Structure 1
Amino acid sequence: MAMERRTQARIDLRIPVELTIPGQNAPVRAVTRDLSWGGALLHLADCPPNDVDILVLSLPWRRGKSIRARARLLRARPHDEGGYLAAVRFISLSPRSQSRLERLLRMLYPSDPTTGASGRNALFRELEVTVCDTEELRQKLLQILEGHYTVTVFEAYQVGQSISLSITGTFDLPSIRLRARVSKVRKSEVKGFDWAELYTLSLEFEHPSNTIRTFVDLVLNRLSDTEDESSVFSYLEGAPDWLRSVAAATARSSASAQSTEAAGRDEIRSCLESEFPDAIARLVAGWGHVADFEMVFSSLVLSRNDLPDAWSREAWEELEMLQSVHDCAYGVSTHRLSLLKGGRL
C-alpha cells in the first residue's frame, strides 16, 4: 500500500458509498469519514483484501447519478469502534465525475477554494500557465497528449500532490483545465533568475487517457484560422472549452467547412456537434444569459421529445453536462421550479 499525501482541506462527511473491488462479485458498502479533492477516508465493516491496490469508489450524486473515481488503497487499519478505516487516493476521474466532485466540495466548503499559503487548507491548489499565441498552445497540447507536462514555477510542490492545472490563453485563445498529479520536483536554475528559487515540475494527468486524447484532438483541430475564430471566442467567454471550439468551427464559411471535412474525416467530434449542430448554434446564442439560455434549452428539449429522431443517450448526457456547467457558472432563474427532463444533473 502507498503512503498518503493529501494536502487539501479534508471535509468531515458521513455518506454511504460503494466500492468495486477486483475479484468480488458485489460492491462493498462503506461510509465516508472525510472527503477531499485528493481522496477519502472510509469506514468499512470488513478489512479489504491484502492484495487490493486499485478500486472504484462511487459517491451518490443528484437524481440517481454518481461520482465515480478510480482510487488507490493507501492503508487500512482496525477502528476502535469496530470495523476498519481505509484511506484511498483518487487517481482517475472522468471530466463529468471531476465536475461533480468539485461542485460537491464547493457546496460543503463554501470559502475560496484556492486560499491558503501554498494551497494549504484549500480545497485544491491551482497552477495557472499563460500562453500568448496559437503555436505555444499547440506545443503544450502536444505535450499533454503524451500524458505528461513539464513546467517551471516559483513555488515548491510536493511529489504526489494532486492539483488543478489551468492553461489560459490570451488574445481569445481557449483555456484548458485538467486534474493533474505532481510526479517529480527538482530545483532549477535559469539565467537571469538567480534571485529566485525555481522548481521544475513533472505532471501526470488524472483523467482517462482516451478522454484526454479526444479533448486535445478536438482543440488542436480548431486552432487553425485563429483570426477568423477570435470574435467567436470573445463572444463565448466563460463557455466550456469544447463548446467554444465547436461554435468557432460552425462560424467558418461553407467552403472552409467543406475543406476541413475533406481533410480530416477521422476527426473526433462530440455527439451534439456531429448529430445536432443546430442545437450547438442555439445554445451558443443564449450562453451567459440565464433567462435566454433556459428558454433555448427548454425549447430544444421539448421540440424533439416526440420526434422519431429524438435525442440519443449521448446527446442527453452532453446536454445535461452543458446545463449543469451553465447553472454553476451563471445561476438559475427564480422561475425554474423543477429540473427540465434531460436537463441539469
Structure 2
Amino acid sequence: MKVLVTGAAGFIGMQVALALLARGDEVVGIDNLNDYYDPTLKTARLDAIAASAGAARFRFRKLDIANGAALSTLFAAERFDRVVHLAAQAGVRYSLQNAGAYASSNLLGFVNTLEGCRHHGVEHLVYASSSSVYGGNAKMPFVETDAVDHPVSLYAASKKANELMAHTYSHLYGLPTTGLRFFTVYGPWGRPDMAPFIFARAILAGEPIKVFNHGKMRRDFTFIDDIVAGVIGALDRIPQPDPGYDRTRASSAASWAPYRIFNIGRSEPVELMDFIDALESELGCKAVRQLMPMQPGDVEATFADTSALEAWTGVQPRVSLAEGVKRFAAWYRGYYAV
C-alpha cells in the first residue's frame, strides 16, 4: 500500500513509518517540525528512518496540516491508499498556555486531513485520539462505550472533537475511520515533554523530579512496540457500516457508519512511584522526589480496557513494564551519551 503518515517525525509516527516500511509498504511522511520540543530529536528520527532497510520506499515532506491548500495538493498528487494521522499539538499542560496551537493543528488540521481523504479516494483513515477524552470519569477501567462528555483540558476536548468530526465524515461520505485512544506511550525516541523523559534527564543530572499529586497517580504505561502493533492492526481492518446498530442504545465506540473507536494501552495501570523505582533501577541512580499538588488538566488515574481492540485485530500488548523501562533507559543513555 501507499500510506500517508502525518506527524512522521514524531515519537509514534516514526515507529509506525518504520514498521510499515519493514513489511513492504510505501510511506510518505509529513511533519511541520515545529519547536514545541527540540527539533533536533525530530530530525534524528527522520535520519533513523532514512537509515532503515526500507528507506527507498520512504519520502518526507515538511508540511503543516493546517495549510489546507498544500495538504490537498499532496493528496491529489499521491493518491494514498490509507492514512495514519498522528500529527497534532500534543501536551495537556501546554494547552493551558497556548490554546491557539490546538485549534490550528488539532481542529483545522484534522478537518483538512478528513477533506483530503474524502476527495481523494482514501480507503481508511486511522487517527490518534487520546485517553484524555475520559476526563473526569472515575469508573475503571475505561471502556470505549463510557460517556466522554467531561474533558478537563483543551487538549482532551480537541481529541473528542476529532472523534465527532470523523464520525460526521464516516456518516456523510462513507469514509471508513478508526480512532485510537492512546494510553501513556513510552519507549525509545520518546517525547521530551513526557514523564519518562523528564524523569530520566533529571535523575541522571542529580536534579529533583516533580511528582504531582504527591505521587498518588496511576498510569497505563504502554510500550511503543505494542502501540505500533495496534495501529497497524487497526489500519489493516477497514470498518464496515453496521446495519444492525441500535440507535436507541447509542454507543460512542461504534455506529451505523463505517466508524470505530478503540482503546490502545497495556490494561495494567502502574503507580507512578513504582515507575520511578523501575527507572531508578535501570539508570543506577536515585531520584530526588519533589512532591507537588495535582496540576490543572491532569487526571489521577488511567486504565484501558483493551478487549475490543484485541478482538478486532488479534493484537495483545506483550512488553512488560520492566522490559519497557529497561529498553527506554538503554536508549536514553546511548542517545545522550550519559
Per the normalisation by structure 2, the TM-score is 0.28
Larger Rg: 1
Structure (1 or 2) with the greater strand fraction: 1
More helix, by proportion: 2
Higher RCO (Cα < 8 Å, 6 or more apart) = 2
TM-score normalised by the chain length of structure 1: 0.27
